[in-house]
Amino acid sequence: MNEQQRKEMDQVRQKDPKNNLERIKDKSTDEFMKYFETTYQPPNMRDAQRRRKKDVDVHYDFTIPEEMEGVGEDRKYLIRTYGCQMNEHDTEVMAGIFETMGYEPTKQAEEADIILLNTCAIRENAENKVFGEIGHLKSLKRENPDLILGVCGCMAQEEGVVNRILQKHPFIDMIFGTHNIHKIPELLKEAMFSKEMVIDVWSKEGDIIENLPRSRKGKIKAWVNVMYGCDKFCTYCIVPYTRGKERSRLPEDIIQEVRHLAAQGYKEVTLLGQNVNAYGKDLDLDYGLGDLMDDLHKIDIPRVRFTTSHPRDFDDRLIEVLAKGGNMLDHIHLPVQSGSSDVLKIMGRKYSREDYMELVRKIRAAMPDATLTTDIIVGFPNETEEQFQETLSLVEEVGFEAAYTFIFSPRENTPAAKMRDKVSMEEKKERLQRLNALINKQARETMETYENEIVHVLVEGESKNNPDVLAGYTKRNKLVNFVGPESAIGNIVPVRITKAKTWSLDGEMAETTVGVKE
């Protein structure tokens, strides 16, 4: 790490909530709640608000430095991606940059000249997987000393991870954070010509680079970033630290990208952001996600999704626009995290169970058939059996059709990681099983309502498990496997459902679209 980088890291550390965290260290739940209600300030919020107006610059001038043009000819790159769709899409951008430099993709680590691990920090097991993989890469590097190994993504934004790599895995050539993807050509140049590990993390967390190349994974569905970062600072979550401040892309840049994708024949776009409902709040334009969706509603692309929502920012304007139908899908992924207002408060979610249920009521009133899915954390520090049961009852009350469920994983330097926790891991695992059993039951019951119905499926290709069968998703995100002609790939076709399973439907192509259930 050079002097400048060290200085920047120190500055970040000073702004970090470290002091804030020290004060809440080792508090019991009651003390924590009291502290939370009276004193706790989400870290960096004020900084974040000031910074975004002043410091976020939008750049349209990305170029590959002359000396790096063509450097990848006869060379291959491999990127292993961990974690969320945001990471998947970042990988598409990095792939675009490598391919612009002349590199070709490969899936074989043995023939790669560059291997990048695009990492996820959301839970400890995600990090463990990456450290396991770093261990495996060591022997490849020994066999081929010219191989460039890089670690990027969310873990690279964690000081503890960077230090661990420096100390224990010095054969890694470069580490760069989520804000520095556009600097790949420069970093690569440094890594190729210097013996030192190249580290570029944290440096500037504000800018938006608009004209980065992208090598998209498919030709049917595409991801489109609408915003970067998160300012919510839920007390368990590392994302605001690894992804930086909320910053929205300008509406015209997003609309142009979606138009372009529609013209290229894409059938579905998913708008991405850590908290998409905060879209536009930093722009001073009086233009939010509802307005953006309304503009996208007019574009001739069959399906527009968005993820992930935060209930607190989900406003009436958005509901009104979603209710217009058309390419607006009535599947809403709305992470609730817990059904207990007390737990929600300590999680820093800024809504209660009642607020959440009121939002669900409004959504159902505007879109009676809306499918709701969610994320839930069990075993938040000191979660009681009663509080857990409130989660179970909320799951039933809302009627979630699917959910991603997790056991709380303490993340370094987040407030929740500092709490004393009396609940055993055994108990947490048992709660997770009970929750999953309920969700599976609800998923299965919903799936059964599709038997003998016709649904519209956007066909993505052959099924992963059986090449004789095609697979795709309905508007409500139900996976359908069916027998049909190859010509259906890339199209939206009617399928009659013959059999329901818990997480997928089996069917056969239908001749008619009469009575489609969607």
- Judged by CB under 6 A, the residue of 242, 274, 387, 446 near ligand SF4 is 274
Q: Closest residue (Cβ) to ligand 5AD?
A: 375
Residue 39, token pair as written in the block: 């004193």
Alpha helices by DSSP H, 16-103: 18-24, 29-38, 45-55, 85-100
- Cβ count near 422 (within 10 Å): 12
φ, ψ of residue 113 in degrees (nearest 5):
-95, -20
Site string for ligand 5AD, 122-151 (x = CB under 6 A): xx----------------------------
Query: Per the annotation, does 234 bind a ligand?
Result: yes
- Check binding of 240 to ligand SF4 (CB under 6 A): yes
Span 188-227, contacts to ligand 5AD by CB under 6 A: none
- The residue from 123, 232, 281, 331 that contacts ligand SF4 (CB under 6 A) is 232
Residue 82 binding ligand 5AD, by CB under 6 A: no
* 224: Cα separation from own chain's centroid: 12
Q: Which of 236, 266, 400, 450 binds ligand 5AD (CB under 6 A)?
A: 236
With contacts defined by CB under 6 A, name the span among 140-148, 237-245, 418-426, 470-478 that binds ligand SF4. Answer: 237-245
Partner whose footprint covers residue 435, from ligand 5AD, ligand SF4, none (CB < 5 to 8 Å by kind): none
Instruction: Name which of 122 and 165 has its Cβ closer to ligand 5AD.
Output: 122
Q: What is the C-alpha to C-alpha distance for residues 172 and 191, in angstroms, rounded to an integer?
A: 10
- Using CA atoms, how far apart are residues 391 and 372, in angstroms rounded to an integer? 15
d(CA 411, CA 417): 6
Site for ligand 5AD in 444-483 (CB under 6 A): none
- Contact in structure between 370 and 363 (CB atoms under 8 Å): yes
Parallel, antiparallel, or unpaired: how do β-strands 247-248 and 227-228 relate? antiparallel
Q: Which two tokens stand for residue 359?
A: 């939002």
Q: Rounded to the nearest whole angstrom, what is the least distance from the CB of residue 238 to ligand 5AD in the complex? A: 7
Q: What are phi and psi of 238, to 5 degrees?
A: -95, -10
In the complex, minimum distance from the CB of residue 379 to ligand 5AD, in angstroms, rounded to a whole number:
9
* Residue 240, contacted partner among ligand 5AD, ligand SF4, none, CB below 5-8 A by kind: ligand SF4
Residue carrying the six token digits 């450097």? 71
Q: Is 88 an interacting residue with respect to ligand 5AD (CB under 6 A)? A: no
Return the residues of window 410-429 that contact ligand 5AD according to CB under 6 A: 411
C-alpha torsion angle, residues 347, 232, 352, 285 (rounded to 10):
180
Q: How far is the CB of 314 from ligand SF4 (least distance, A)?
A: 12
* Three-class secondary structure of residue 112 per DSSP: coil
Select the residue interacting with ligand SF4 from 123, 169, 249, 310 (CB under 6 A): 310
Residue 152, annotated ligand binder?
A: no
Instruction: Please name which of 450, 429, 447, 428 lies closest in space to residue 439, comparing C-alpha atoms.
Output: 447
* The one among 72, 185, 273, 335 contacting ligand 5AD by CB under 6 A: 335
Concatenating the DSSP letter of every residue in 269-327 gives EEEE-TTGGGTTTTTTSS--HHHHHHHHHTSS-SEEEEE---GGG--HHHHHHHTT-TT
Task: Please choose, from the candidates 152, 171, 137, 19, the residue with its C-alpha nearest in 3D space to the C-alpha of residue 93.
Answer: 152
Under the criterion CB under 6 A, does residue 381 sit at the interface with ligand 5AD? no
Residue nearer to ligand SF4 on the CB measure, 118 or 337: 337
Q: Does position 406 bind ligand 5AD by CB under 6 A?
A: yes
State yes or no: residue 83 binds ligand SF4 (CB under 6 A). no
Residue positions forming the annotated binding site for [4Fe-4S] cluster: 84, 120, 154, 230, 234, 237
Interface contacts to ligand SF4, rule CB under 6 A: 230, 232-234, 237, 239-240, 274-275, 310
- Give contact residues for ligand 5AD (rule: CB under 6 A): 122-123, 236-237, 335, 337, 375, 377, 406, 408-409, 411
